[in-house]
Structure 1
Amino acid sequence: MTLPVLTHDVRIVDTTLRDGSHAMAHQYTETQVRATVRALDRAGVEIIEVSHGDGIGGSSFNYGFSLTDEMKLIAAAREEADNAKIAVLLVPGIGTADDLRRAHDAGADMVRVATHCTEADVSPQHFGVARDLGMETAGFLMMAHRTSPENLAKQARIMVDAGCQVPYVTDSAGALLMHEARARFEALLAEVGDEAWVGYHGHQNVSLGVANSVIAHEAGVRYVDGSLCALGAGAGNSPTEVLAAVFDRLGIETGLDVLALLDAAEDIVRPYLPRWPKMDRNAIVQGWAGVYSSFLLHAERAAERYKVPAHEILRRCGELGYVGGQEDMIIDIALTLAAEQSRG
């Protein structure tokens, strides 16, 4: 399997227009996408991810409807990017092979196939379609804290054998402590590092996304994800502009223009933020209890509707071990809490 040629020490992938879609309640406009892609492209970002927060095909009652058809957003992004590649996320069971073909036709150059950290065996058919289309491929092993480093590496092996060029340690809950993140990076590199690049996707729920990104580079990880203004699920992603500044201070080459990214964050993204991603009680509980970051808005809506605490909904999601795709169970928890309150 041929791997992408990397020209820098670290390849920063920006997910403002995909993971950020969670925080935007999937209400991105074409104008916002075009402006953000232009700014990221000018700043030297090589890969820009664009799709519904839950991936292509995610616009639905269960996950939230997109304001603008995602294929239209992908096509708009492709038109604005002079140098950057456009990536999409695909979660098997939400997105289909046909969705992937349509995304490719719209201009997507890369797909990141995302599965729960112990379910990589549902990904091979999607990697096969992507490779047939000539797309670059990455694999997201989501909720990476929920399995051991050794088993995570075995799951990465399944993806790489299926055609994945970049398996990711994906800290969907922002829960990994620094030693836990390092152990997973080292396990994946030991298993597939001679055959694939390794990536890291972090969240800021306990404020370790950037720190873990530095540890990732020290371990040998070459792909690192970020979002402008940290825009993403939960407390947000590792901020792209902060990653660029930190790596620059460390003398680690990313090819990114730090000042251009700061301008993009402040002048392009910040004006359309529905709220600034923050480490408040709800987001911290997600990282502490190991809860999927995209549950945040769902839990807050249920809390308001049923007059129960959102942080308690999230804590119970952690206790019950819910994972991405089980957003509908949040309502059950809220109803249970409401019944408990009424009994007093």
Structure 2
Amino acid sequence: MTRIRLNDTTLRDGSHSVRHQYTPEQVRAVVRALDDANIEMIEVTHGDGLGGSSFNYGFSHTSDLDLVEVAVDEARNAKIAVLLLPGLGTVADLKEAHARGAGMVRIATHCTEADISVRHFQAARELGLETGGFLMLSHRISPAELAAQARIMVDAGCQCVYVVDSAGALIMEQAGDRVKALVDEIGDEAQVGFHGHQNMSFGVANSVLAVRAGARQIDGSLAGLGAGAGNSPTEVVATSFAVLGIETGVDVEKIQAAAEDVLKPMVPRLPAIDRSSIVQGQMGVYSSFLLHAERASERYGVPTAEILREVGRRGYVGGQEDMIIDVAVHLSDSAA
């Protein structure tokens, strides 16, 4: 079997879990541990990517560009990647990240909006960056429709398109079928990847099925740190792949130590598969909405799970975090 690249997003998706409060010292410690475990790509930015530090998404403790520079300085072998959401991050942000040493950008759009990524892929390739494309909330459309969106990204210069289960809503064949559809569409023109969440507890299983369907890059984060119920835990994915004979080059003992001895002591709260996060998976709600919904629940006295159910009914997508307040107010008024 072709070797799989296991990417780590502790310092990007995991930023949601720590309310974007990573310090330079913490970034150094995590990068050092991941690098020592032979992780080849480490993603570092605000949870919502370059430019994400804002009132709407939450302010960072330290500028993500400064954290990128710290990560690049600490890594000996790993490539440092950044995330960019068009309309939030800009080409200017991308150029600055490149100047700070980033070697890859993953450009993320809603699963039906790949066309807004074209300019950013072109700019990234001109800079010589490795490129990845995130099709977020991939459960929202059929495998064939998702493959058509992947085609747009590949034609624009994307080198790996990821099926992104932003809500942790995909279950087994629902993930594998989407990966296969992308593989069938783009063939050898680009790779296909998978990014899973644990809301319905299928992140690791879906990652295995993604590989069997042809994915060549898989995401994880240490101790599952990430939005919602968290990401597929890097240390569990690496260990499972080793047991199954799927080659990653990752040192299993060192990646387990990175999660247990380095990451866990610095994190006040680890993600959990609880009622609210399960509802996110059930209703297909964007995982990063969880903390926003919890804050709205405290303010308006409405259960978090009920807010998330209504958000799911309304079909909100990433970027509509401000609408969660409207939902909480509506539910509060209805209960009065």
Distance in 2 separating the partners of 1:327 and 1:213? 28
Distance in 2 separating the partners of 1:156 and 1:302? 35
- Specify which of 123, 127, 130 is matched with residue 129 of structure 1: 123
Structure 1 letter corresponding to 2:221: S
User: Equivalent residue for 1:119?
Assistant: 113
Distance in 2 separating the partners of 1:117 and 1:81? 32
Distance in 1 separating the partners of 2:159 and 2:318? 23
Structure 2 letter corresponding to 1:85: K
Correspondences of 1:278-317 after superposition (within 5 Å): 278-317=272-311
| Residues 8 and 255, structure 1, Cα contact 8 Å, conserved in 2 | no
Structure 1 letter corresponding to 2:288: S
Distance in 2 separating the partners of 1:260 and 1:194? 33
Instruction: Indicate whether 1:175 and 2:197 are aligned.
Output: no
Q: Kindly provide the CA deviation profile for residues 311-330 of structure 1, in whole angstroms up to 9, marking residues without a partner as x.
A: 00001111000000000000
SS of structure 2 residue aligned to 1:63 = coil
Offset at residue 177 of structure 1 (A):
1.1
Residue ranges of structure 2 left out of the alignment (5+ in a row): none
Percent of paired sites with the same residue: 65
User: Equivalent residue for 1:198?
Assistant: 192
Instruction: Indicate whether 1:143 and 2:137 are aligned.
Output: yes
SS of structure 2 residue aligned to 1:323 = coil
Distance in 2 separating the partners of 1:131 and 1:186? 26
User: Equivalent residue for 1:48?
Assistant: 42
User: Equivalent residue for 2:244?
Assistant: 250
Distance in 1 separating the partners of 2:270 and 2:2? 30
- Specify which of 75, 78, 84 is matched with residue 69 of structure 2: 75
Instruction: Indicate whether 1:91 and 2:85 are aligned.
Output: yes
Structure 1 letter corresponding to 2:205: A
Q: Kindly provide the CA deviation profile for residues 69-106 of structure 1, in whole angstroms up to 9, marking residues without a partner as x.
A: 11110000000100000000000011000000011111
Structure 1 letter corresponding to 2:255: L
Structure 2 letter corresponding to 1:64: G
Structure 1 letter corresponding to 2:37: A
Q: Kindly provide the CA deviation profile for residues 255-297 of structure 1, in whole angstroms up to 9, marking residues without a partner as x.
A: 0011101111011110111212110000000000000000000
Offset at residue 307 of structure 1 (A):
0.8
| Residues 173 and 209, structure 2, Cα contact 8 Å, conserved in 1 | no
Distance in 2 separating the partners of 1:310 and 1:193? 42
Instruction: Indicate whether 1:16 and 2:10 are aligned.
Output: yes
Instruction: Indicate whether 1:106 and 2:100 are aligned.
Output: yes
| Residues 8 and 254, structure 1, Cα contact 8 Å, conserved in 2 | no
Distance in 1 separating the partners of 2:222 and 2:321? 26
TM-score, structure 2 normalization: 0.99
Offset at residue 220 of structure 1 (A):
1.1
SS of structure 1 residue aligned to 2:7 = strand
Distance in 2 separating the partners of 1:73 and 1:8? 33
Distance in 2 separating the partners of 1:106 and 1:282? 38
Distance in 2 separating the partners of 1:63 and 1:82? 32
| Residues 14 and 226, structure 1, Cα contact 8 Å, conserved in 2 | yes
Q: Kindly provide the CA deviation profile for residues 213-259 of structure 1, in whole angstroms up to 9, marking residues without a partner as x.
A: 00011111000000000000000000000000000000111000111
Comparing 252-261 with 269-278, greater Cα deviation is found at: 269-278
SS of structure 2 residue aligned to 1:66 = coil
Distance in 2 separating the partners of 1:182 and 1:40? 27
Distance in 2 separating the partners of 1:185 and 1:66? 33
Offset at residue 8 of structure 1 (A):
6.0
